Amino acid sequence: MSSVPPPIPATDAERRLHPWSWLFVLIMQLRQYLLPLAALLVFGQRGDRDPLWAQLIPLIVIACLVLASVLQYLSYRYRIGEDGITIRSGVFARNRREIPFARIHNVVVDQNPLHRLFGVAELRLESAGGNRPEAEMRVLRMDEALALEQRVRHRGPVMVNPVADGDPGTPPPLPETDTRHVLLRMSSIEVIKLGMLSNRGWVMVAAALGALVQVVPRDRMDTFVEYGGREAFGYANGLQPGITGMLVIAAVLLLAGWVALRVLSVLLALLRYYGFELSEQQRRLTVSTGLLSKVRSSVALRRIQAWTLSETTLQRWAGRRQLSVDSAASQGNDEQQQRGLRELAPLAAPADCDALVQHLLPTVQWPPALWHPVALRGSWRLCVTSLWLTPLLAAGLTWRWGGMGLLVLAWLPVALWTARLQMARIGWHLDDRYVALRGGWWRRWWRWAELDKLQALRLSRSPLDRLLGTSSVWLDTAGARGDVALCLRYLPQAQAAEVLEQLGRALARRQLRW
């Protein structure tokens, strides 16, 4: 995918999508109905006893999808104006959408292998909030998609100078230039490391099992499992390997499964992150990535609401971390929507992640010089489920199998020990620029947001908080939906009230920037 966009086109009349747009819409719809159609074709036939209309149902469904795709192409119009884009769509119910460029927070240009074959791309325009993009244009010529992306970059609003907003301590924004700077590139070796250090293979295995359960009838699946298990155990008994041999076979099978999952994880990482490049132009970040499907996603730096650093245990042993962001753009449940600009550094050295943060947030001191810890005396609250569930499980196992069931109680000290380690990792930092928190033990994370991005504050107390005299301060931003909530947990009640008042004063004298 080319990284240099063409010149910005002038304002013109209404346009259609690419002539082959209906084909890509049809393919998308067929993907949604692929499993039901396959199940109907494979398992729904009963031979010559089926009436003719029943055998023609799949063909009728496909014909209806083709007709709907063609009508959608014929009814879709768009017009690129000076300040926004106008979209008309709908066959029976006509819709008109006016999307100002200033309201577009994220632009995603997606190219799968079929797109590349036809020289086209899918374009998604996302704004703050909502579960769907403002516009999904399937499909445009590649030069038109890149031209529209450039138009959004040039027609977006100018950064508001915080000095004019009553915050004299904030320096003016950095000047915008047309120079494109590459901030991070991932080599093939780094992408392979990312696959080795992740568990993405489990996702594919779980998805495959879920598809089998949905497609294959229950009776046939039970027959296959029963017959296969009987054959496998019969073959193993025929070998007569003994206990030692059985343990060796089990170990080999486990090792082979682990290697297969790692290989699958590496393949998935190569497909998604091959050629990963993070660049900056006019204070707008752009990520280009993908081996077969090329994805180009861009977002203005001012739209980033929250930042997250994380590292798993394997990544920590390898000296690597991940840097991701939450932006004020729609984040639906659809996989394609989640492939927008979220990961600034899928895998990088801690020093490189810190340097990237310092470059993008020059007014923020990262990492903080001081982390405020929380009290360890209430660490048992992190394993309260284990504290009541483990004795019940031990009682049930003891009633069923005798004294051996008491061995389950050995989990209690382990749970208390891990809870104490997790509580010891919790910390927070607050100054006149940003608020940050950290946590995690097995998987460590750091999360922060600038005070200018905070929208609302909330003080909450659970029954355990009232028992232990603590409170939690929740922070809300536009579009921050990461895995970890922006919440200062387990603070003493007086300290939580003081933090809430301090943040309230800061928000009252600052203008929201999102």
Q: What is the pLDDT of residues 189-225, one digit of tens each?
A: 999 999 999 877 777 777 676 666 666 666 666 676 6
Same domain, 147 and 208: no
132 and 246 fall within a common domain: no
**Judgement on whether residues 58 and 137 belong to the same structural domain of the protein:** yes
Verify that 28 and 153 share a domain, yes or no: yes
Which pLDDT value is given to residue 22? 87
Of 157, 191, 345, 343, give the one whose Cα is nearest residue 268.
191
Q: Does 355 reside within a domain? A: no
Domain assignment present for 142: yes
Same domain, 267 and 153: no
Going by C-alpha positions, the residue among 143, 142, 103, 110 that lies closest to residue 124 is 110
Pair 25, 163 in one domain: yes
pTM of the model: 0.79
* Residue 144 sits in the same domain as residue 34: yes
Which pLDDT belongs to residue 277? 94
Mark which of 273, 302, 336 sits at the end of a domain: 273
Beta-sheet pairing, 321-327 with 454-460: unpaired
Does residue 321 lie in a domain region?
no
**Same domain, yes or no, for 65 and 121?**
yes
Considering the domain architecture, whether residues 143 and 251 belong to the same structural domain is answered as no
Kind of pairing between the strands at 427-430 and 372-373: antiparallel
Q: What is the pLDDT of residue 340?
A: 58
**Cα separation, 258 vs 254, whole angstroms:** 6
123 in the same domain as 87: yes
Q: Which domain holds residue 232?
A: 200-273
Q: Is residue 193 part of a domain?
A: no
In sign, the C-alpha dihedral spanning 478, 480, 481, 486 is negative
Quick check: is 242 in a domain? Answer: yes
In terms of domains, do 84 and 148 share one? yes
What residue ranges of the chain have pLDDT lower than 50?
A: 2-5, 8-10, 157-176, 330, 332-339
Q: Does 93 lie in the same domain as 208?
A: no
E strand segments, 101-194: 106-111, 120-126, 135-141, 181-185
Total domain count for the chain? 3
* Domain termination residue (choose one: 223, 240, 273): 273
User: What amino acid is encoded at 140 in this protein?
Assistant: L
